[in-house]
Structure 1
Amino acid sequence: MVKMPHIHTALNTKFLEKVCAWCFDLFLFFCLGNFILLHHLFWGGMLVCLFEYSFFQVFLFFSVILGSRMLPSSVFFLLILGSMVDTKTSSEKGSLFYPYGSQQGDETNPKHDDGTSEEITLSVPFTFYGKTYKTAFVNNNGVISFNEPVKQYTPDPFPLADGSPFVAPYWADVDNVLGGDIFYRQTTDPALLEAISQDITQYFPKSPFTATWALVATWDHVAYYGSTSEKGNTFQAVLTTDSKMFYIILNYWDIQWTTGAASDGDAETGLGGTPAHAGFNSGDDTNFYNIPGSQTDAIINITTTSNVKVPGRWVFRVDDFQVTGVDPPQPNNNCWL
């Protein structure tokens, strides 16, 4: 499938759909009165709060529309429930993800289909499969590459014939124009490095590790090319070292789609076609590693799998020609170390 260029309109159509939905609800409220108020508070409002909109969006909506008609007890109930929902979600995500976003000083990739970051000069060179690299790119399509950007949107099986060394947290056709952001930063923050060090030492107790540098890249609720839904994927990759050992941590918080429309995926579901690929390509045409489920429909379940007994987390030592922390390769499982 050939990709068509984006046609930029003054307003996002999904935003307009939401505005129309709220306006219709407002109309119903004024027509039907307190019955609709009850309906929204205990069905529409609560479900929207839990599954689509943030608590504060819902609260502000009811406050503006209902004004003095909203009983103090209802306000208090919404505040308590909303706080519980937000806290629970943030806590669970925070236990898996390392801090990211503009508040952490992250850089953000441009809104461009198949785009990439600027060339990143690594303040600490990173050794990957026996070779040391001084530059990297955080590519929109779920890849961190060394030396050159990767704009290919349909993933190929490993090993790649073109000799491109890269990490594929979730190689698929991301379109951040339609939704989501890609963040990245290099860091020597002591608190973050301590957290990373503790995690890796826990997973690899025979190799004491004290991180001195990390590159944190996060794909936050990114959409897929050709999407007609609001599905988004959220995942993270961390490259870290103590200058002797080199590790990569892959975190998967929320995976809702596997395939863009240009890779023969369904525009509504983001499934089918050629699904996403997660793993490593050494660049020597021989050595690679595929996370189980790669390029199959099962990759959507990566949030429940792990090699360190933490659902949604995969951790590897990658400086030598070995990927530690996983079961030994079995015949025909596409894993060559």
Structure 2
Amino acid sequence: MALLATTISLTESASAAAVRIGVFNANTLLANDDGSTGAVGIGFSIDFFGSTYSDLFVNNNGNVTFNAALGTFTPFNLLSTSTPIIAPFFADVDTRGSGSGIVSFGTGTVDGRTAFGVNWPGVGYFSNQTDKLNTFQLVLIDRSDTGAGNFDIEFNYDQIQWETGDASSGDNGLGGFSARVGLVA
């Protein structure tokens, strides 16, 4: 079963950030290109289209996966994969450049509910580029109060300035094989 998000809401506000600030930063993924964590506990179990997961892999390239880490940097058609993935911005993120933020993740609380989130704060693109930076976030919120394994997914965007890394046929962060957004079970 696959589902692809087709709408992205890009928001910019002078009074409030579009991402949840100050949470989900207990752990960091060191500056890297195409790296991932090992299996990380979510803090609750989710039923992702019939499969139950209590951990996931945080991938530098703007996504999380459930069965294994994903180092792929050129985004592929999410409808053509069997890899369970949640991708707020699947593209060639490169956090090695001076001025790029690094990926952070961890558990927290959203509206009194247990949550797990991943932050990509002011991240650059391949290769070591920081002339354009993206800030986005993934939040998984425990909704077991409505049924076993139920959860909400938030894709939060504060700033999107680039869409493609140089190795994905991009030029100056644009064109080529552009970022993918969505989820697949």
TM-score (norm. length: structure 2): 0.83
Q: Does the 8 A contact of 1:110 with 1:116 survive in 2?
A: no
Q: Deviations over 1:81-119 (max 9, x none)?
A: xxxxxxx84x321xx221336xx6521111121011232
Give the distance between the partners of 1:222 and 1:262, measured in 2 at CA.
16
After TM superposition, the structure 1 = structure 2 runs for residues 54-133 of structure 1, keeping only pairs within 5 Å, are 89=14, 91-93=15-17, 96-100=18-22, 106-133=26-53
C-alpha distance in structure 2 between counterparts of 1:133 and 1:234, whole Å: 27
What is the identity, as a one-letter code, of the residue corresponding to 1:276? Answer: A
SS in 2 for 1:159: helix
Q: Which amino acid aligns with 2:20?
A: Y
User: Which residue number corresponds to residue 184 of structure 1?
Assistant: 105
Structure with greater proportional strand content: 2
Instruction: Please name the residue that 1:334 is paired with.
Output: none
How far 1:122 sits from its partner (Å)? Answer: 2.7
Secondary structure of the equivalent of 1:164? Answer: coil
Q: Counterparts of 1:255 and 1:156 in 2: how far apart (Å)? A: 19
2:135 to 227, 230, 234: 234
Give aligned-pair identity as a percent: 35
Identify the residue that residue 254 of structure 1 maps to in structure 2: 159
User: How far off is 1:229 after superposition?
Assistant: 4.7
Mapped to 1, the partners of 2:35 and 2:152 lie a distance apart of 26
Greater length-normalized contact order (CA 8 Å, ≥ 6 residues apart): 2
Aligned residue pair count: 167
Quick one: structure 1 residues 157 and 108, their matched pair in 2 at CA, closer, same or farther if it must change by over 3 Å?
same
The 3 A distance-change label for structure 1 pair 97 and 226 is same
Alpha-carbon displacement from aligned partner over 1:10-44 (angstroms, at most 9, x marks no partner): xxxxxxxxxxxxxxxxxxxxxxxxxxxxxxxxxxx
8 Å Cα contact 1:260-1:270 kept in structure 2: yes
**Structure ranking higher in helix proportion:** 1
State the SS of the aligned residue for 2:115. strand
| One-letter identity of the residue aligned with 1:279 | G
Paired amino acid for 1:249: E
TM-score (norm 1): 0.47
Counterpart residue identity of residue 151, structure 2: F
Among 193, 198, 212, which residue is 2:111 paired with?
Answer: 193
1:136 & 1:233 partners in 2: Cα distance?
23
- Provide the C-alpha distance between the structure 2 equivalents of 1:160 and 1:134, rounded to a whole number of angstroms: 25
Per the alignment, residue 4 of structure 2 pairs with: none
Higher CA-based Rg: 1
Runs of 4+ in 1 over 4 A off after TM superposition: none
CA root-mean-square deviation: 1.8
